[in-house]
Amino acid sequence: MMANMLIWLVFLPLIGAILLFTIPKENVNVIRSLATIVSGMALILTVIIWGGFDRGVSGIQNGTTLPWFDLGFLQINFEIGIDGLSMPLLLLTTLVTTLSIFASFSIEKRVKEFYIWTLILLSGMLGVFVALDMFLFFLFFELTLVPMFFLIGIWGGKMRSYASFKFLLYTGIGSGIMFMTFLAIFTKGAEAMNFQGTSFSMIRLAEIFANPANPEVLSEGVKAALFLGLLVAFAIKLPVFPFHTWLPNAHVEAPTAVSMILAGILLKMGGYGLIRAGFGILPDQAAKFATLIAILGLINIIYGALLALVQTDLKALVAYSSISHMGIVLLGIASFTHSGMQGAVFQLVSHGFISALLFFMVGAMYERTKTRTISEMGGLSKSVPILAGFMLAAAMASIGLPGLSGFVSELLAFIGIFGASADLIPAAMTIGIIAGIGIILTAAYLLWAMQRTTFGPIKEKFMNLPDARPMEYVPMVGLLALSLILGVYPHILSDVINTTVIDIVSRIGG
């Protein structure tokens, strides 16, 4: 029953996209309503699945495996299912997408196509989070790429073409590497089992790699190469320094709603993929490279924050802050502790809400002031106090103010990195302390941005800007409330994550 619901969930947006095809493009309101309804239905489905989710089970639940194609040596199955890792991300996906559809009503250009691509994107993202077969995972991963490419390329700003190509090139190369690595994993897995019962299933492959019939095939070097392949593939998506430069361009050019989805959900596929495939199939390699991952995380935190500090474009600043915040995810998973891993997943969800809110606020300000240049704004609290208030709240959430979700993930990640075993990460303490400086830098660039945009004297031309519209309250209040709920009572989320996380960490005996 629940398994069927997962299939419905993944294909519902696609069906919605097909339905949209049949509607004349002049019926803008019908199109918008339909897109909202479809996304809303997907949200309701995820909430039902969330409600029925068994918090005591660490492995996959609601799983389904349907034979897809079978070439004898090559079996690809439609294998889906969820665990404590994917469940929160499914809910994040439908929540953020639905709220960003509310944020996209101001789009007037080629409305029908916009929502068709958005719904296809939604299917792709949901597919990524439920797929357990590597081939299926790859297909869904690709399915997100093309819509995002068009969403930036058609509805973006002045430099949209450049930004969308850059996005495609980077993430395309990432996908290429991912695909090669998947194939190599499959090949090696098959070899290790002497070609008996080969599979693309990540669950099966994890078992094979843990207990190979022919261990010689899986030398340390081979396994290390496979893990590094996955690390690079997902590092581009997360994104990790030095593969991050596509992100600020994509964000600056993307329309508000697309930025919300990009930062809120799409980046999370990188973190999710790294944990699901990298840590799932090759846990011992992940542990071996723990120090590397932790240092990459640290670089992301500091580098992203330092660059955010000198941005002149408000949206670019938020984009660099995303890079910085994704470093927390790496830091958490590298620690190989329950709390660190929990913090990483918590951060994926929390940053999803907070970054979507920040991008929404920046978009709302841009819509009114027609500028994103920080020095051209100022004093906006005077004319748009409500928007300015929500923007400050979003900044505070991003800074990690307790009571909002960002604090919980940072706390957990810090408990993780400071509790990391010295065998795994010899310099864990130092890494943690330097990461602490990142917390100060985060406050510095965000408060600086707030000071220059909403505080200070207001410019004459901004005196009569209209404050928040009723429709804008939906994403604003929704996203802030979600961050607040997780911040005040994190048990709601940690309860779902915990069992699975303990299982992942215990695979290397941690």
Partner 1 sequence: MCHGILKEKGVGMMHYAWLIPVFPLITFLILLVAGRVLKEKVAYIGIAGLALSFLLSVLVLLERIGGETYTYVLNWMTVGENVVTMGYEVTALNAMMLIVVTLVSLVVHIFSKEYMKEDDRIHVFFAYLGLFSFSMLGLVLAPNILQLFIFWELVGLCSFLLVGFWYFKPEAAAAAKKAFLITRIGDVGLLIGLVLLFNRVGSFNYAEIYTAVEMDQLSAPMITTIALLIFLGAVGKSAQFPLHVWLPDAMEGPTPVSALIHAATMVAAGVYLIGVMYPLFLASSTAMTVVAYTGALTALFAATMALVNNDIKRILAYSTISQLGFMILALGTAGYVAGLFHLMTHAFFKALLFLGAGSVIFAVHHRQDIRDMGGLWGKMKVTSVTFLIGSLAIAGIFPLAGFWSKEEILASTLINGDGFLFLIALVTAFLTAFYMFRLFFKTFTGEFKGGDLNDPTEETFNEQAAWEATQSAEVGLDAGYEERKVYPNHQEVPENEPRENAGLMTFPLMVLAVLAVIAGFINAPFLGHQLEAFLTAGLNVGTQPHGALWLAFLSVAVAVAGISLAWAMYVKGFIREDFFSSKAPSIHKLFQNNYYLDDIYLAVFVRPTKEISLLLWEMDKTIVDGVITLIGSLTSRSGKAMGKHQDGQLQTYGLVTVFGGMVVIGLAFAVRGYFG
What residues from 40 to 69 belong to the interface with partner 1 (CB under 8 A)? Answer: none
What residues from 352 to 391 belong to the interface with partner 1 (CB under 8 A)? Answer: 379, 381-382
Q: Give the count of beta carbons closer than 10 Å to the beta carbon of residue 22.
A: 6
Q: Which is nearer to partner 1, 2 or 146 (CB)?
A: 146
Which residues neighbour 314 within 8 Å (Cβ) at sequence distance 6 or greater?
Answer: 362, 365, 366, 372, 373, 374, 377, 449, 453
Bridge partner list, 260: none
On whether the CB atoms of residues 425 and 431 are closer than 8 A, the answer is: yes
- Interaction of residue 165 with partner 1, rule CB under 8 A: yes
Among 174, 239, 332, 432, interactor with partner 1 by CB under 8 A:
432
In terms of Cα–Cα distance, which of 32, 267, 12 is closest to 122? 12
What residues from 172 to 191 belong to the interface with partner 1 (CB under 8 A)? Answer: 172, 175-176, 179-180, 183-184, 187
Segment contacting partner 1 (CB under 8 A): 11-19, 30-38, 205-213, 438-446? 438-446
- Interaction of residue 107 with partner 1, rule CB under 8 A: no
Among 37, 439, 474, 508, interactor with partner 1 by CB under 8 A:
439
What residues from 64 to 93 belong to the interface with partner 1 (CB under 8 A)? Answer: none
On whether the CB atoms of residues 425 and 334 are closer than 8 A, the answer is: yes
Q: Which is nearer to partner 1, 38 or 361 (CB)?
A: 361
Collapsing DSSP states into helix, strand and coil, what is residue 190? helix
Torsion, Cα 332 336 338 344, to 10 degrees, reads 20
Among 223, 251, 268, 338, interactor with partner 1 by CB under 8 A:
338
Sign of the CA dihedral with 407 first, then 410, 416, and 417 last: negative
Residues binding partner 1: number (CB under 8 A): 77
- Interaction of residue 204 with partner 1, rule CB under 8 A: no
Among 11, 78, 162, 366, interactor with partner 1 by CB under 8 A:
162
- Interaction of residue 459 with partner 1, rule CB under 8 A: no
Chain centroid, CA 125 distance in Å: 10
Collapsing DSSP states into helix, strand and coil, what is residue 295? helix
Q: Which is nearer to partner 1, 6 or 121 (CB)?
A: 121
- Interaction of residue 462 with partner 1, rule CB under 8 A: no
> x/- string (CB under 8 A) for partner 1, residues 208-247?
---------------------------------xx--xx-
Q: Which is nearer to partner 1, 94 or 498 (CB)?
A: 498
- Interaction of residue 137 with partner 1, rule CB under 8 A: no
Which residues neighbour 211 within 8 Å (Cβ) at sequence distance 6 or greater?
Answer: none
Contacts of 37-40 spanning 24+ positions with Cβ under 8 A? 38/12, 38/13, 38/119, 39/13, 39/94, 39/97, 39/98, 39/101, 39/119, 39/122, 40/98
- Interaction of residue 303 with partner 1, rule CB under 8 A: yes
Which residues neighbour 468 within 8 Å (Cβ) at sequence distance 6 or greater?
Answer: 364, 384, 386, 387, 390, 476
Cα(325)–Cα(322) distance, integer angstroms: 5
What residues from 387 to 406 belong to the interface with partner 1 (CB under 8 A)? Answer: 396, 401-403
- Interaction of residue 21 with partner 1, rule CB under 8 A: no
Q: Which is nearer to partner 1, 34 or 251 (CB)?
A: 251
- Interaction of residue 141 with partner 1, rule CB under 8 A: no
